[in-house]
Amino acid sequence: MPSQGTIGDRVRGLRLSRRMSQAQLAGPDLSDSYVSLIESGKRTPTPVVARLLAERLGCTTEFLLHGIEPRQRIDTELGLRHAELELYHGDPAVAAERFGEIVKVAGEENAMLAAHARLGRARSLESQGRIGPAVEAFERLRREAAAHPERLADLPLTVALSRCYQRAGDTLRAYDLAVHALAQVNRLGLAQGEIAVDLAASLVESEAARKPNSQAMSYARHVLSVNGVPTELNRTAEVQALWQASITAAEGEDSALAVHLADDAIATGRPARMAFRLALIAMDWARLTASIGGESLDEAHEFATVASKVFTAFPEHVHEHAKSHVVLAYVRLRSGDAEGAANLAGSALDVLRDQPGTAFGATAHLVLAEVALTRGDTNVAAILQSAREVLGDQPYDLSGPDREVARVWRELGDLYGRIGAGDEQMSAYRRALEAAGVRGAMVGVTVDSALVR
């Protein structure tokens, strides 16, 4: 455990425990008044002076400066890496606990380690879907970055906050942060790496991407153009093996090897994580292109196809795999290929066969309904009823808005309108408003579909 307090507290504590006076500690090289200034916190010893004091006090320079011994520091570094592996390849709740423990161990005397751990905890909270606490944590970190830019960079925190506010339903705040981050990356000419990919993902989720040729769509397209969507193989088994080897090395008290193996595990998993995130961007870009127009449907089809291939390699991500089929179905439908759209929508429903009702399943039914309308079939109402059954009729709770579900209800209402089912259309629009977080007395109010877009 690190020593609490400042460098001066540790110097004074060690000096008194060794029954030394300030003059004795100062020796022939320093003045006792200088030692007094160090102990009172009015002076910080230079590295040379710190080594000299450490020798006379019988401790390491690392302990004197940081309150932690070299072995403790490497163990803390190892803890950070294992927590990061837990975040990306294990349980985010466990990761949050481990990052929290590291914050306590590191303390303010090890500001860089503590800041890294607090950032990891914020990401873990977001991964759990605990958006409120995640926002609070990221906001605190952003204030810390403003005060101590040597510890944390503001840009990745701005991107993370934009993403969190978007998911919480505060689209205006999310948009403002995304625009601020976009200005920074444009100034830097940044289109590669995790920050660029995170920003592109946040932008295609935001309201800024709802218009053709918007800055959001243009930047996301640029990131996809520069990085491509690599069909990286799922290397989870290799990551798990390296992670376990790191744990075994740590149990054998070979901390240096344990850190090295943990670094290898993180590096091994990174390409697949990046490929998955780029696939999400490609899928959302293709979906928006199909819905708002203004871009090449051939390119949208290409992006959605490669995204689907990536998701196929991750069988645990069933919803993303199904959604990619739905997006491809929409692109085919907008391109005039009704038969191909119907087949892809059916494939999405097959993927979701053992899954509970989801917005993606309902959307697949909506594609089938549009195909039926295109063909002039008479079973459109039955298909729309199937979509409604997937969405369910239970009232939404107050846990927060669900814009994906709201979008599906709104599209369901649009299709009811196209077949002249006015009562069902009005009901669907009301459910869209509820899902979007708009509640209250709505009886007798005419709902315009544009309100829930």
- Give per-residue pLDDT as tens, 426-442: 988 888 888 776 654 34
Please report, for the chain, the start and end positions of each structural domain, with discontinuous segments joined by +.
7-67, 71-204+236-266, 310-452
Beta-carbon neighbour count of residue 315 at 10 Å?
Answer: 9
Q: Which amino acid is at 6?
A: T
Same fold, 7-67 and 310-452: no
- Give per-residue pLDDT as tens, 244-288: 999 999 888 888 899 899 999 999 999 988 989 999 998 888 888
Of the candidates 36, 32, 30, 40, which has an alpha carbon nearest to the alpha carbon of residue 6? 40
Three-state SS at 174? helix
Task: Return the DSSP state at 67.
Answer: S
Q: Which amino acid is at 143?
A: R
Of the candidates 1, 422, 423, 81, which has an alpha carbon nearest to the alpha carbon of residue 264? 81
Q: Which amino acid is at 275?
A: A
CATH code given to domain 7-67 = 1.10.260.40
Task: State both tokens at 63.
Answer: 């302990």
**CA dist 59 → 24, 39, 63, 201 (Å):** 16, 16, 7, 49
| Residues in the chain where the model's pLDDT stays below 50 | 1-3, 397-399, 440-453
CATH class, range 71-204+236-266: mainly alpha
Report whether CATH 1.25.40.10 matches the domain 310-452. Answer: yes
Cβ within 8 Å of residue 27, ≥6 positions away: 56
Distance CA 388, CA 386 (A): 5
How many residues are there in the chain? 453
Task: State both tokens at 10.
Answer: 């540790």
- What pTM, to 2 d.p., does this model score? 0.74
CB 236 within 8 A of CB 266: no
Quote the pLDDT of residue 447.
44
